[in-house]
Amino acid sequence: MILPCLPLELVAAHILLRLPVETLLRFRCVCKAWRDMVDDASFRRAHLRRQKPCLLISPQIVKTLPGEVTTGGLYLWVWEESQKKEATLVHAMSGPSFLPRAAAGPWEVAAHDLAHCDGLVLVPAYSAVHLLNPATRRAVTLPPSLHRPHVVGRPRAIGHQALGLGLDPRSNAYKVARFSYRSSDKPSGRKYTMGMEVLTIRIPTVDHHPPHYWRETSTPPPYPVMPGRTATFFKGSLFWTIDESLFQDATTTVAPGFMRFRLDDESFGVTPPPPCRRRIDYQATTLSELSGELCLCVPQEFVPDQVDESYELWVCHGMDMDDEQGQGPRWERRHVIVGYPVFQGLRGLRPMAASNDSILLYGGTCPCLCRCDRRTQETTSRFYADVHHLRYHHPDTGTLVEYKKNVCDFNITPYTPSLVPL
């Protein structure tokens, strides 16, 4: 019962907004007023803004069959000194539908990146695509694609599709977009067709769960994108990394930037790359959203006399400006990250999370998180947490698991617990 001297607005602003999702779900049962407040979209948005940055880690566990890999679950890792050596299981994943890689000879299909938006997590697997809210323990399996999977590209291609998850600012609905290659003249050939499907997430009512279905965009994507790379969601758009290796003449043609897909009108565009001193290695770079900014880590050109290799961290401004009236996207070099190895053609550092004074990055070729100081222009990184040596805690059984020998990789994504319904 709510006391007359304690207004509901005061309870929401100073008490309920500070509570974790699990506690708020229990408090919905206190009374109808609290239930309506917790279910209110504006309250969910305000609660989301107060959450601290953290990560979800999914170990890719090697099984007995050649090439067979499955996932042990999604583990929550909190960015705090007192908890940084341990991650907690928030969603178990097992069974064939979560298998991210299948033994298929030279055309082995590998794991797809996770995607995150407002507490919702997209888990693409070999036979299905799952959408989860680990905080509310809700999950849905999306329907199959309208088109048969078709692997194209170089030998041991990592798949036929690339997915993205984001919020449409016009309809205020969450959408999943799926880029896929539809056909080619031969597996290693240059001629192919490609398309984009979109699925709108229907918020369930009390007694009704509306069906989800895919629909084709009115125009196909203008460029091929790297399969297996989840799109980066930023200010109403999804950004994919263009795959230069599938251009008609990869030796002379360079990618014009990153393919942009607007979720409101479902149109395509291109965001130019930062003005780096050398040609960007798109295979080694990944766009990220950090504290409301679009960021990109670019390996610096190798200098023979320079002992420490480094990355440049670029930030994009002016994304919402009309190119015909304004200056359009503009890049600013914000930091230089020194002391982290650079491997040509391999995925490098990826910005994961940011606080007021630090940036957390993950190395694709090394399972370590590094932390960089935001207050200085020239920044030296240090190894902050070794993902391989974290302790993985199962809260239901009270057991600790260490993934050291039977893990081939870790799939990591930024994450924010939320009340967004599924």
Residue 372, Cβ neighbours under 10 Å: how many? 25
C-alpha span between 39 and 421 (Å, rounded): 9
Residue 299, Cβ neighbours under 10 Å: how many? 24
Distances (CA, A) of 295 to 45, 94, 106: 23, 33, 34
Residues 10 and 111 in one domain: no
Residue 302 belongs to domain with CATH number:
2.120.10.80
Residues 42 and 178 in one domain: no
- In a domain, residue 97? The reply is yes
Residues 118 and 233 in one domain: yes
Residues 178 and 32 in one domain: no
C-alpha span between 340 and 25 (Å, rounded): 42
What pLDDT does residue 107 have?
Answer: 35
Q: Which residue has the tokens 């909190």?
A: 78
Residues 108 and 189 in one domain: yes
Residues 58 and 184 in one domain: yes
The domain of 276 spans 51-415
Contacts of 270 (CB under 8 A, 6+ apart): 222, 223, 256, 257, 258, 259, 260
DSSP 17-70: GGS-HHHHHHHTTT-HHHHHHHH-HHHHHHHHHTPPPEEEEEEEEE-SSTT-EE
Q: Is the CB of residue 251 less than 8 Å from the CB of residue 182? A: no
Distance of CA 99 to the CA centre of its chain: 18
- In a domain, residue 146? The reply is yes
pLDDT tens for the chain, 422 residues: list them: 444 555 666 666 667 888 888 888 888 887 888 788 888 888 888 888 888 878 999 887 776 555 556 667 889 998 876 667 888 888 887 665 565 554 343 334 456 889 999 999 998 876 678 899 999 989 888 988 877 655 544 433 345 789 999 999 999 999 999 998 876 554 445 567 889 999 999 776 655 666 778 999 999 999 989 888 899 999 999 999 998 877 655 455 678 899 999 999 999 999 999 988 777 888 888 899 988 889 998 887 655 555 567 888 899 987 764 444 556 788 998 888 877 777 777 788 889 988 878 888 887 667 788 888 877 755 666 667 888 888 888 777 777 777 766 777 788 999 999 999 88
Q: Which residue has the tokens 């766009």?
A: 287
Bridge pairing between strands 192-200 and 54-62: unpaired
Residues 35 and 128 in one domain: no
- In a domain, residue 177? The reply is yes
Residues 23 and 137 in one domain: no
Strand partners, 264: none
C-alpha span between 210 and 374 (Å, rounded): 45
Residue 217, both tokens: 């965009």
- In a domain, residue 422? The reply is no
Bridge pairing between strands 86-91 and 391-394: parallel
What's this model's pTM, rounded to 2 decimal places? 0.86
Buried b / exposed e along 87-105 (16+ C-beta atoms within 10 A): bebbbebeeeebbbbbeee
Enclosing H/E stretch for 220: none
DSSP 311-366: EEEEEEE-TTS-TTTS---EEEEEEEEESS---TTS--EEEEEE-SSEEEEEETTS
- Could you give the number of structural domains in the chain? 2
Angle (nearest 5°) at CA 58 between 364 and 78: 90
Distance of CA 10 to the CA centre of its chain: 35
